[in-house]
Amino acid sequence: MSRSIAGRTHGCGDLRAEQVGEHIRVSGWVSARRNHGGVHFVDLRDRYGTLQIVGDEDASSEARSALADLHPEDCIQVEGTLRMRIEGQRKKDKPTGDVELLVEKLDILSRSARVPFEVQDEIDVPEELRLKYRYLDLRRRPMTKLIELRSRANHAIRCALQEDGFVEVETPLLTKSTPEGARDYLVPSRAQKGNWYALPQSPQLFKQLSMVGGLDRYFQIARCLRDEDLRADRQPEFTQLDMEMSFVDEEDVYALVESVMVRLYRDLKGEDLSAPFERMPYSESVRRFATDKPDLRNPLEIENLTAVAGNIGFGVFESVLESGGWVRGIRIPGGAELSRKQIDSIEQAARDAGAGGAAWCKVGEDGPTGPLSRFLKGEGGPEFMAALSAEVGDLLITIADQPRRAMVALDTVRRHCGELMGIVSGPDRLLWVTEFPLFEEIDDGEWTPAHHPFTSPFPEDISALAEGQKEGIRSRAYDLVLNGVELGSGSIRIHDSDLQQTVFSAIGMDVKEAKRRFEFLLEAFQYGPPPHGGFAIGLDRLYALLFEASSIREVIPFPKTATGSCPLTGAPSDVDPAQLDELGITQKSLKSE
């Protein structure tokens, strides 16, 4: 491929035998340099690949001298004639392995200092160091490939949606702080001292206002910022594909998202994804898998032992049941073959997930063995074993705790056991989880929206909601799950201002407070808002899965660390006191006296 611009005629990785004899100009970075008996070889690298540059007796003395004076990562421009490599020196495993460039002219565009790590495809370097010198890390082909794939994926998304009549709308980055489930990043106003902007957690309100504005089919590849506690798959700033449509129901949204996912799998992975995707109500997902994001490639399921756990004389079970907690179990077929060390790792996984531990037993020809077995020898034992459909060769794992902790522990143990047994396999499984509860009760007894306060309840549940009921009210919300990872969520929105206020009231927000926080949205709803709904996909997480990256940081050009810091720039950092004075901000010293 020709890439003819002032600095080059071709990319380093584009040249093949077909171009032999042509005058070539390439630019890039010195990847490696070798001197074999006065013959100088340089591997020149750019975004497109690597090309061998050679200076032998056919090259000028000036060219050979220039090659000899190069250092790793020097940026150079080389002109010469492309020729075939000598038979026996050709590299069939490299795209440019048959050819080399005989140097005629070499210009050093800039010199490189000694690099903190070798810029090679495979490196063993601490991630913090890679992030500090991310611009060097990006020169490595594995990183370049991931960023290129991300660009191709974004392009495929835009093409798919624009072909379907969607309009791309850019929404503000400086907006009003509103309660949307996470902590806002705040930006002080210099012009209006004492007032603050918020960076958007999502474009939620603006995409709804776009529907009121008649834009009908909106999308945006949007930057979102949330001041949350971080973890391996979460960044303080992230990118999501945001979509909204008017005059739709859930089926329309499902079909849209599935079409985008099918396009991505086809264009990025060359795979035909089967649609429509599987569906499962939230209640069934929690009952069978103790999570709202199950990996359906894992065949293990959760069994409810409430009816039998209190009959075997195990005090822990009895105490948990009396306090309204859960006793659940998992049968692992063939799990009796696991070693004690492996079973210890299951117990530790449960503890790490917040549970007190995991009670277990193996099922042998002579009955159960292990810590739980002594409670299964009485009258309640056979019934307990039957509830788990126990068979010889099985391992039985039980968790007893309060529902929130038990769910997390059961999900963790199920995933861990699936990995230990090597039974998580097969093609990607995409699942719609539907009919989420509208509210969830938090630890202090307060009720909060399970998704966000703009999610519409099921029409059949509106009368109960109006009467003050919160538990059991279903929402028209839905999540998309890929192999046990939540890709995104969405819902059919509330477009009726009275119903919106009913939901606000249910979470303790009176009319005055709702007006203070959402006056612009509630006012817009006075001017004929259409029914509407949408969805948002976390692209960093999706791309990490699609591209088989080790973490989401690998598919983000300039990510933060797990602590939210940027090793490259040093952010967050202090600022000049004069800047704070301009903003009317006094900073309290955090240093201990």
- Mean pLDDT over residues 108-130, rounded? 96
DSSP 72: T
CA distance 193 to 18: 66
Residue 472 has pLDDT above 70, yes or no: yes
Please give the pLDDT value at position 312.
96
Token couple for 187:
């930006």
Q: 149 φ, ψ to 5°?
A: -65, -40
Q: How far apart are CA 533 and CA 27, in angstroms?
A: 50
Nearest to 215 by CA among 579, 560, 530, 582: 530
Determine the topology of domain 2-110 in CATH: OB fold (Dihydrolipoamide Acetyltransferase, E2P) (2.40.50)
Q: In terms of pLDDT, which residue wins out, 510 or 162? A: 162
Is 6's pLDDT higher than 80? no
Residue with tokens 């967050």: 572
**Average model confidence (pLDDT) across the chain:** 94
Going from N- to C-terminal start, the domains of the chain cover 2-110, 148-277+429-556, 298-421
Look at residue 179 and tell me whether its pLDDT is greater than 90.
no
Residue 593 pLDDT: 43
Q: 190-245: per-residue pLDDT in tens?
A: 999 999 999 999 999 999 999 999 999 999 999 999 998 877 678 999 999 999 99
> Does 3.30.1360.30 match the CATH number of domain 298-421?
yes
Q: What's the CA gap between 129 and 44, in Å, rounded?
A: 24
What pLDDT does 4 receive?
A: 63
- So what's the pLDDT on residue 61? 87
* Mean pLDDT score, 312-328: 96
Q: Do domains 2-110 and 148-277+429-556 have the same CATH topology?
A: no
Does the domain made of 148-277+429-556 have the CATH classification 3.40.50.300? no
Distance CA 335, CA 497 (A): 55
Give the orientation angle of helix 403-421 with respect to helix 340-352, to 10 degrees. 150
Q: Are strands 49-55 and 39-46 parallel, antiparallel or unpaired?
A: antiparallel
Q: Residue 181: pLDDT above 80?
A: no
Residues 432, 281: contact at Cβ < 8 Å? no
